[in-house]
Amino acid sequence: MSLYETIQSDMYEAMKNGDKFRVSTLRVALAKLKDKKIEKREDLSQNDEVKILQNLVKQRKEAADIYEKNNRSELMKNEMDELKILNFYLPKMMSEQELSTLIKEVISDTSATSMSDMGKVMPEIMKRSAGKADGKMAQQIVSDLLQ
């Protein structure tokens, strides 16, 4: 069962249960997935679906940060609740320890020695992690190791 089908099934279940907030959050996710499917004119791969959901999660985090800075706690809570719902459908992210091990392996494989090699290292990390690595955390670890 694809991620799209899982979300759709969960949305129908939420409709039956009368959970309007969950329904609206899942509807947005389904709309984004469907838009991308139409744009590509073919079914989305699992990786594509995950990337779209990660983008939605990132948007929610950024919005929550903005609301927090502007003392809009009710809106921030709303974004955080949506974030929890969307995170449920994402694969488990790599821990800092796992990511650090992967980065050391990539640095060794690419023979990176300085910060100028970050352009070689980062794409390989993201490719090998298959969407399970936090880009900001990876970038921080790489810059610490290459300095």
Can you give the residue range of the structural domain that contains 139? 96-146
CA distance 126 to 128: 6
User: What is the pLDDT, as a whole number, of residue 147?
Assistant: 80
User: What is the pLDDT, as a whole number, of residue 18?
Assistant: 95
- Which CATH number do you get for residue 125? 1.10.10.410
Question: One digit per residue, pLDDT tens: the chain, 147 residues?
Answer: 788 999 999 999 999 999 999 999 999 999 999 999 999 899 888 888 988 998 999 999 999 999 999 999 999 999 999 999 999 998 888 888 888 888 888 888 888 888 888 888 888 888 888 778 878 888 888 888 888
Whether residue 58 contacts residue 97, with contact meaning beta carbons closer than 8 Å, is answered with no
- Assess whether 74 and 17 both reside in one domain: yes
| The one-letter amino acid at 123 | P
Domain end among 44, 65, 87: 87
- Assess whether 66 and 49 both reside in one domain: yes
CB proximity list for 37: less than 8 A, separation 6 or greater: 4, 43, 44
User: What is the pLDDT, as a whole number, of residue 74?
Assistant: 93
Q: What is the CA radius of gyration of the chain?
A: 18
- Which CATH number do you get for residue 11? 1.10.1510.10
User: What is the pLDDT, as a whole number, of residue 29?
Assistant: 95
